[in-house]
């Protein structure tokens, strides 16, 4: 009857905790829940951006949808959790999200020390700079003494330090937590330059007051291999993410897309047969349905389709394929065969 | 001698000197009483002159009140006009009130608001029978009602028919937002932190060493750290503290953080009230044979709480203002919704208007609460205060 | 639960579960077990989770290279320094805002508190409107608001507002000349310290003399002379061993001199304005708590209003003011953590933000951050309690 506060708090927590079951493999948990929980960027047009009705669209969002299609045969069973650069790793570590598909750079320390597994590189990127045209800057090497806006807690912040240090230039960094805040600071003139991955620069430029007043400088100062990642230790789950991505790449290579996928089922090409689950038990290997890849292609599309739809030259983002073209077309995207 | 007497007639009072009455007198008394006072008055008037006219011209005279889109607030060359752009607020008012809550379900929140008024209105009646019981019942019942109005009843499987258009479909807490979320967090925090604060305060004054030690530790720990670290811990680290696969709602986690934080402050306020109760009250209660819970519930706490009502309301106001911090951990409360609007590509560059509007809204609520507390203080004034 | 009092009094063989002492012990044991069990449960889960997910733990990361820059650092710092150094930078930035904020907010609060009680209608009205408006708007909103206003009302570096060629105001901050010391400068701070010590000694002596003989000594002027005159004299004698480094426009920005970044300015400004309003209320309450008879008695003794306030009212009001003032100071320090919303690199932004994210060691980073704030709070409380006791001792 007396002073029970601490107990009350404790009991409440335990009661909540008891509600759910013990440790489970991620896939089982997802199937039971009926949803994939996918950590995405808060608002990055072309990659992950909610519209006014809260419907998410973008390249990273399609990666999540593909996984949902592979598991459920329904691309809509995804709950999108917007995360800041700062929260994202704790959110994944703590199990708040099943995977991160969020412009996250694959680095050794993240892979090894933070306890994550990267499933692949679905976007080869590099860090660049954006400056106001009125400054008259042509190259990042002319940025001596500049004030640079960046998002805190990113590889961007560290690459920036490396770049200026190795070129023996002084600079000032204004680091903020949310991308929108950084962009607003840059737009209001707090900084001379804005830096992030070049894909992000193209996306963020569309969010400025007068996009055409700003120019993206030619230098690429880092390697930024971006890809989806999951917690270390559940290999089956990581395989599902990885092969969902590879299935999209293989589909593009084999010329299978969302429009012709039903006809392609009748194809004589054994590679296509294996991909679409006509031959072999590749879905079963992943503890999924054999039509897993068929569902991805049918409901979401192949790699090239999602690229063109979200960030390609015909979108406001306007990124050409560049290094993200298939290896057979001079790019870097190369998927191991399904065999 | 004649009988006619000359009665002594008092003459009417002379009017007071012209300089001490009327406007002139008031001015001399209150504004130009002495040389320093005159200098201060002139200085203050100059400051007012610097601040007020530009403010009025920005917010009212030069402001844009009507228009279809942001072009109405801009000059022909695309630069913005001098005055405030209030059509931005008009365009986003729905977002400010409801956040990302589904557009077609906003009526549910409206109903929750109307219900709040209807259910709490009888408490304003002075001689309502069983008013205390009714009050407690409403305070316990309303959150349940509000919860289901916000959340909905029918949890459709993702993709099932009705999952996107049924009027009572479940709306997950990550979609709750705007002023509705601010009020929700504040009221849950207020309702939950008061009893918790009472328990902690009693614990701190307890003669049982372990109980009082834990209470002191708990109170000082929460009071010693900034709320933002508490919220950050509750929002991202709590799942690490629980067994794998166990998790609970982000909003609930933030609520727990806010409540525990505010309970610690509440405990200190209530402890102040407990200390002000004379020992004789305790002794009299014990002499009547009341046990500890009854002594506290019937004799000590009613007096102690009444004594510190203004401070309790101040703590509530503090909690209400502190709800803005959930915007930092990525929830869209009123401040978060304002920031969401400020990032809207269609309305870039009007953030000052958004913040000014939020400031007015917060001021209305907080000032209202503080006036109410002053009213209560006068009403409940039972002569404890030495004057 | 009607425990019959007569029963317990008469019958010593009361069952032990009805005995208040036993129940107290039982209750405490249960509480202890629950709390310890709960703590153990949390600890075990965290440990398990960290193990299972292969997340590194421990405090070794404090020594590894940070790799990011911080815009404002009071000690030398570069990206090649360690995370531990970054922690220090963040802590010092927090302390800088807190210290400056506390001093300015106290001054503002006393001015506003006295102004609110002023007989001048306009002054007291302005003071009370200021207090009511500021206290009822969330601090976070005010910080963001002032930051936006500052950003929008200042020009770019090339159009800086130039004050005498020495100070420049633009949207990168307030630039001003910085003194650069040369050998031999160290004598000046020593002279300053000596001046302060001499002033304290002189003050005691003057008071003792006044008590003994009634003669007054011009303490204020002597003190000013000792504290400011002496260092200036030393400076002149040693031949001005410093020069000014002036800010100059070079490329995009100013270089040289000192700069107060806009994040610092708007954070400090908002904290001072906000906390000043609360302190103003405390000061008002404190002054009101002093019986009016004290003022009248003082007037009767022939003291003028100024000395009355200074010698009679304020010393007594201080006893009422100091406890709430302590909590305002603590609040200001804790509220400085809202810096993270506008990108001022304070402890929370640098350590619980950037470092946490670079290392991924959430538990350690949050624990260190909370520990530091707890330490700051507790030390401030201890100091202010000591000060409070000193002031209260004068009660007779």
| SS3 annotation, C258-311 | EEECHHHHHHHHHHHHHHHHHHHHHHHHHHHHCCHHHHHHHHHCCCCHHHHHHH
Inter-residue contact B341 to B80 (CB < 8 Å)? no
Q: From the CA of C172, how many Å to the nearest CA of chain A?
A: 6
Predicted pLDDT at A308: 93
Q: Is the pLDDT of residue A294 over 80?
A: yes
Across-strand partners of A147? Answer: A172
Is the pLDDT confidence value at B277 over 60? yes
Checking if the pLDDT of B378 tops 50, the result is yes
Length of chain A measured in residues: 339
> Can you list the positions of beta strands (E) in A213-263?
214-216, 224-226, 229-231
pLDDT tens, residue by residue, C339-352: 988 989 999 999 98
Q: Which CATH number fits the domain that encloses residue A155?
A: 3.40.190.10
Structural domain including A93 reads 24-124+226-329
Whether the Cβ atoms of residue C336 and residue C93 lie closer than 8 Å to each other: no
Q: What ipTM did this prediction achieve?
A: 0.88
Cα nearest neighbour of C33 on chain A: A7
What pLDDT sits at residue C310?
Answer: 83
Band (pLDDT 50/70/90 cuts) for residue B305 is: confident
For residues B184 and B52, membership in a common domain is answered with no
pLDDT in tens, A296-316: 999 999 999 999 999 988 888
Task: Compute the average pLDDT of residues C187-193.
Answer: 86
β-strand pairing of C258-260 with C173-176: antiparallel
**Closest residue to C360, CB basis, from A11, A93, A233:** A93
Segment holding B14, helix H or strand E? none
Instruction: Report how many domains make up chain B.
Output: 2
- Give me the numbers of helices (H) and strands (E) for chain C, helices first please: 15, 8
Per-residue pLDDT at A50 exceeds 90:
no
| pLDDT at position C267 | 96
pLDDT digits (tens, 9 = 90+) for C19-62: 777 888 888 899 899 999 999 998 888 888 888 777 777 888 88
A138 touches chain C (CB under 8 A): no
pLDDT at B335 over 90: yes
- Cross-chain Cβ contact B355/C148 below 8 Å: yes
Assigned token pair, B244: 């794998």
CA distance A200 to A219: 15
Asked if residue A325 belongs to a domain, the reply is yes
Q: Which of A122-131, B376-385, C182-191, C379-388 has the lowest mean pLDDT?
A: B376-385
- Identify the domain containing residue B191 by its residue range: 86-101+171-379
Q: Does C152 touch chain A (CB under 8 A)?
A: yes
* Residue C50 tokens, joined: 């960290």
> Is position A170 within any domain?
yes
The pLDDT, as a whole number, for residue B4 is 59
* pLDDT tier at B375, thresholds 50, 70, 90: confident
Q: Does B114 score more than 80 pLDDT?
A: yes
CB pairs under 8 A between A and B: 115
Give the mutation candidate from C360, C361, C363 for the A interface (greatest A CB count, under 10 A). Answer: C360
The pLDDT assigned to B97 comes to: 92
Give yes or no for a contact between B67 and B73, defined as CB atoms under 8 angstroms apart. Answer: yes
Which DSSP symbol is given to B12?
P
| B71 in a structural domain | no
On the question of pLDDT at B387 being above 60, the answer is no
Distances, alpha carbon C384 to alpha carbons C73, C96, C319, C387, C390, in Å: 28, 19, 12, 5, 10
Q: Which of C50, B183, C140, C88 is nearest to A113 (CA)?
A: C50
Quick: pLDDT tens for C299-315. 999 988 888 888 888 88
Contact A233 C52 (CB under 8 A): yes
Choose the final residue of a domain: A165, A196, A222: A222
Assess whether A257 and A298 both reside in one domain. yes
Q: What is the mean pLDDT of residues B74-86?
A: 83
Average pLDDT rounded to a whole number, residues A169-185: 88
Classify residue A138: in a domain, yes or no. yes
Contacts A234 to B, Cβ<8 Å: none
* Per-residue pLDDT at B5: 66
Q: What is the pLDDT of residue A11?
A: 42
Q: What distances in angstroms separate CA B362 from CA B141, B184, B356, C135, one per listed residue?
A: 26, 14, 10, 11
Q: Is A2 on the interface with B (CB under 8 A)?
A: yes
Instruction: Kindly report the pTM of this predicted structure.
Output: 0.84
Choose among A179, A133, A140, A142: nearest CA to A159. Answer: A140
Q: Does any CB of chain C come closer than 8 Å to the CB of residue A6? A: yes
Residue-wise pLDDT for B218-248, tens only, equals: 998 998 999 999 998 887 778 788 876 666 7
C118 touches chain B (CB under 8 A): yes
Cα A67 to Cα A286: distance, rounded to the nearest angstrom:
12
- Mean model confidence pLDDT for chain B: 85
Please judge whether B236 and A87 are an interchain contact, meaning their C-beta atoms are less than 8 angstroms apart: yes
Direct distance between the N- and C-terminal alpha carbons of chain A, in angstroms, rounded to an integer: 67
Least CA distance to A29: which residue of chain B? Answer: B245
Residue A53 lies in a domain: yes
Distance CA C270, CA C277 (A): 11
In chain C, the residue whose alpha carbon lies closest to the alpha carbon of B245 is: C49
Q: What is the sign, positive or negative, of the torsion defined by CA atoms of B236, B237, B239, B244?
A: positive
- Alpha carbon distance A129, A139 (integer Å): 9
Q: Are residues A297 and A276 in the same domain?
A: yes
Question: Which chain C residues are Cβ-neighbours of A139 within 8 angstroms?
Answer: none
How many C-beta neighbours within 10 Å does residue B188 have? 19
pLDDT band of B262, cuts 50, 70, 90? very high
C3 vs B89, higher pLDDT = B89
Helix (H), strand (E) at residue A5: helix A5-18
Is the pLDDT at C264 greater than 90? The verdict is: yes
Q: Is the pLDDT of residue A163 over 50?
A: yes
A167 Cβ under 8 Å from any chain C Cβ: no
Q: Are residues B195 and B323 in the same domain?
A: yes
Are A236 and A209 part of one and the same domain?
A: no
Q: How far apart are CA A140 and CA A130, in angstroms?
A: 9
Write the secondary structure of C26-89 as one string of H (helix), E (strand) and C (coil).
HHHHHHHHHHHHHHHHHHHHHHHHHHHCCCCCCCHHHHCECCCCCCCCCCCCCCCCEHHHHHHH
Chain C: closest CA distance from residue B208 (Å): 7
Same domain assignment for residues A173 and A285: no
Residues A166 and A244 occupy one common structural domain: no
A218 plus A234 within the same structural domain: no
Q: Is the pLDDT of residue C5 over 70?
A: no
Query: Do A119 and A232 sit in the same domain of this protein?
Result: yes
Q: What pLDDT is attached to residue A6?
A: 41
Closest by CA to B306, choosing from B217, B371, B250, B380, is B380
DSSP category for residue C242: E
Alpha carbon separation from B39 to A72, B25, B34, C118, C119 (Å, rounded)? 78, 18, 9, 13, 13
Instruction: Look at chain A and report how many structural domains it folds into.
Output: 2
pLDDT of residue A3: 39
**B244 and B318 share a domain?**
yes
Q: Is residue A339 part of a domain?
A: no
- Note whether A118 and A147 are same-domain residues: no
Residue B383 has pLDDT above 70, yes or no: no
Q: Kindly state the tokens that stand for C302.
A: 């022939």
pLDDT digits (tens, 9 = 90+) for C153-174: 888 888 888 888 888 888 888 8
- Residue A117: inside a domain: yes
Q: Residue B367: give its domain's CATH number.
A: 1.10.3720.10
Chains A and C form CB pairs within 8 A to the count of 137
Average pLDDT, chain C: 86
Does the pLDDT at position B64 exceed 80?
yes
Looking at the predicted structure, is the pLDDT value of residue A13 above 50? no
Rounded Cα–Cα distance for residues A101 and A40 (Å)? 5
Q: Which fold has domain C89-177+260-357+371-392?
A: MetI-like fold (1.10.3720)
A334 lies in some domain: no
Name the residue ranges covered by the structural domains of chain C: 5-52, 89-177+260-357+371-392, 183-245
């Amino acid at each position: 009857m007396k002073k029970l506060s601490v107990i009350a708090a404790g009991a409440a927590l335990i009661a909540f905790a008891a509600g759910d079951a013990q440790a489970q493999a991620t896939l089982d948990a997802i199937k039971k829940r009926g949803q994939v929980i996918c950590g995405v960027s808060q608002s990055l047009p072309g990659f992950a951006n909610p519209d006014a009705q809260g419907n998410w669209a973008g390249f990273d969002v399609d990666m999540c949808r593909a996984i949902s299609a592979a598991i459920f045969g329904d691309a809509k069973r995804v709950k999108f959790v917007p995360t800041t650069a700062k929260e994202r790793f704790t959110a994944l570590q703590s199990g708040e999200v099943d995977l991160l598909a969020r412009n996250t750079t694959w680095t050794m320390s993240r892979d090894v020390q933070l306890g994550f597994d990267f499933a692949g590189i679905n976007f080869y990127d590099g860090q660049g700079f954006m400056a106001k045209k009125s400054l008259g800057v042509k190259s990042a090497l002319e940025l001596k003494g500049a004030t640079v806006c960046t998002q805190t807690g990113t590889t961007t912040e560290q690459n920036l330090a490396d770049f200026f240090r190795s070129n023996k230039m002084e600079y000032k960094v204004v680091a903020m937590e949310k991308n929108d805040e950084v962009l607003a600071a840059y737009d209001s003139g707090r900084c001379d330059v804005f830096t992030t991955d070049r894909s992000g620069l193209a996306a963020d430029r569309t969010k400025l007051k007068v996009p055409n007043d700003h120019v993206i400088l030619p230098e690429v100062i880092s390697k930024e291999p971006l890809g989806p990642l999951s917690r270390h230790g559940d290999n089956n789950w990581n395989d599902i993410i990885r092969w969902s991505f590879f299935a999209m790449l293989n589909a593009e290579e084999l010329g299978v897309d969302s429009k012709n996928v039903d006809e392609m089922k009748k194809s004589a090409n054994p590679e296509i047969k294996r991909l679409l689950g006509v031959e072999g038990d590749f879905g079963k290997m992943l503890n999924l349905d054999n039509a897993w890849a068929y569902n991805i292609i049918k409901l979401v599309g192949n790699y090239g389709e999602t690229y063109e739809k979200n960030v390609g030259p015909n979108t406001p983002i306007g990124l050409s394929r560049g290094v993200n073209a298939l290896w057979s077309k001079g790019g870097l995207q190369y998927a191991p065969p399904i065999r | 001698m004649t009988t006619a007497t000359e009665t002594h007639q008092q003459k009417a009072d002379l009017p007071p000197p012209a300089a001490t009455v009327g406007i002139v007198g008031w001015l001399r008394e209150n504004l130009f009483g002495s040389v320093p006072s005159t200098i201060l008055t002139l200085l203050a008037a100059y400051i007012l002159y610097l601040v007020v006219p530009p403010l009025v011209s920005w917010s009212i005279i030069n402001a844009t009140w009507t228009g279809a889109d942001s072009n109405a607030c801009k000059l022909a060359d695309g630069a913005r006009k001098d005055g405030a752009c209030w059509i931005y607020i008009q365009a986003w008012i729905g977002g400010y009130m409801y956040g990302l809550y589904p557009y077609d379900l906003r009526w549910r929140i409206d109903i929750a608001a109307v219900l709040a008024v209807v259910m709490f209105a009888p408490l304003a009646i002075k001689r309502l029978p069983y008013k205390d019981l009714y009050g407690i019942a409403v305070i316990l019942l309303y959150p349940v009602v509000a919860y289901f109005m916000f959340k909905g009843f029918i949890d459709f499987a993702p993709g099932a028919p009705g999952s996107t258009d049924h009027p009572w479909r479940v709306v997950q807490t990550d979609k709750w937002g705007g002023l509705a979320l601010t009020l929700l967090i504040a009221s849950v925090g207020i309702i939950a932190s008061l009893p918790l604060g009472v328990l902690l305060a009693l614990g701190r004054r307890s003669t049982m060493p372990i109980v009082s030690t834990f209470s002191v530790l708990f109170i000082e720990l929460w009071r010693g750290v900034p709320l933002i670290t508490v919220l950050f811990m509750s929002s991202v680290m709590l799942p690490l503290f629980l067994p794998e696969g166990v998790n609970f709602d982000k909003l609930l986690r933030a609520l727990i953080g806010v409540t525990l934080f505010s309970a610690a402050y509440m405990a200190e306020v209530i402890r102040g009230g407990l200390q002000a109760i004379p020992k004789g009250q305790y002794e009299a209660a014990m002499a009547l044979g009341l046990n500890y819970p009854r002594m506290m519930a019937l004799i000590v706490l009613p007096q102690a709480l009444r004594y510190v009502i203004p401070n309790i309301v101040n703590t509530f106001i503090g909690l209400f203002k502190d709800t803005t911090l959930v915007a930092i951990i990525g929830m869209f409360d009123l401040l978060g919704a304002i920031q969401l609007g400020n990032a809207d590509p269609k309305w870039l560059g009007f953030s000052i208007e958004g913040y000014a509007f939020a400031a007015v809204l917060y001021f209305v609520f907080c000032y209202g609460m503080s006036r109410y507390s002053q009213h209560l203080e006068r009403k409940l004034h039972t002569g404890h205060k030495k004057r | 639960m009607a425990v019959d009092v007569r029963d317990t009094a008469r019958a010593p063989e009361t069952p032990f579960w009805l005995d208040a002492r036993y129940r107290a012990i039982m209750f405490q044991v249960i509480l202890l077990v629950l709390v310890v069990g709960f703590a153990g449960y949390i600890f075990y889960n965290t440990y398990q989770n960290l193990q299972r997910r292969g997340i590194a733990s421990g405090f070794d990361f404090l020594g590894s290279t940070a790799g990011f820059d911080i815009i404002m650092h009071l000690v030398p710092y570069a990206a090649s320094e360690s995370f531990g150094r970054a922690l220090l930078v963040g802590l010092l930035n927090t302390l800088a805002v807190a210290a400056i904020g506390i001093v300015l907010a106290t001054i503002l609060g006393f001015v506003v508190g006295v102004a609110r009680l002023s007989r001048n209608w306009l002054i007291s009205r302005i003071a009370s409107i200021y207090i009511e408006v500021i206290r009822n708007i969330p601090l976070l909103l005010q910080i963001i608001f002032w930051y936006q206003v500052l950003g929008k009302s200042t020009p770019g570096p090339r159009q800086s507002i130039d004050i005498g060629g020495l100070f420049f105001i633009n949207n990168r901050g307030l630039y001003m000349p910085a003194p650069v010391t040369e050998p031999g400068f160290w004598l000046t701070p020593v002279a300053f310290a000596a001046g302060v010590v001499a002033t304290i000694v002189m003050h005691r002596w003057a008071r003792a003399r006044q008590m003994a003989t009634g003669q007054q000594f011009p303490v204020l002027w002597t003190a000013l002379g000792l504290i400011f005159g002496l260092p200036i004299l030393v400076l002149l004698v040693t031949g001005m061993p410093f020069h000014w480094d002036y800010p100059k426009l070079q490329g995009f920005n100013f270089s040289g001199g000192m700069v107060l970044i806009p994040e610092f300015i708007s954070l400090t400004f908002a904290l001072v304005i906000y906390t000043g309003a609360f302190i103003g209320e405390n000061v008002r309450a404190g002054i009101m708590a002093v019986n009016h008879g004290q003022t009248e008695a003082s007037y009767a003794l022939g003291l003028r209003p100024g000395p009355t306030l200074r010698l009679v009212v304020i010393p007594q009001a201080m006893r009422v003011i100091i406890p709430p003032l302590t909590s305002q100071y603590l609040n200001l320090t804790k509220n400085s953590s809202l810096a993270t919303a506008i990108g001022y690199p304070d402890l929370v932004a640098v350590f619980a933000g950037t470092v946490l994210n670079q290392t991924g060691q959430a538990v350690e980073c949050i624990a260190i951050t909370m520990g530091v704030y707890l330490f700051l709070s507790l030390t401030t409380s201890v100091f202010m309690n000591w000060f409070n006791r000193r002031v209260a001792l004068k009660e007779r």
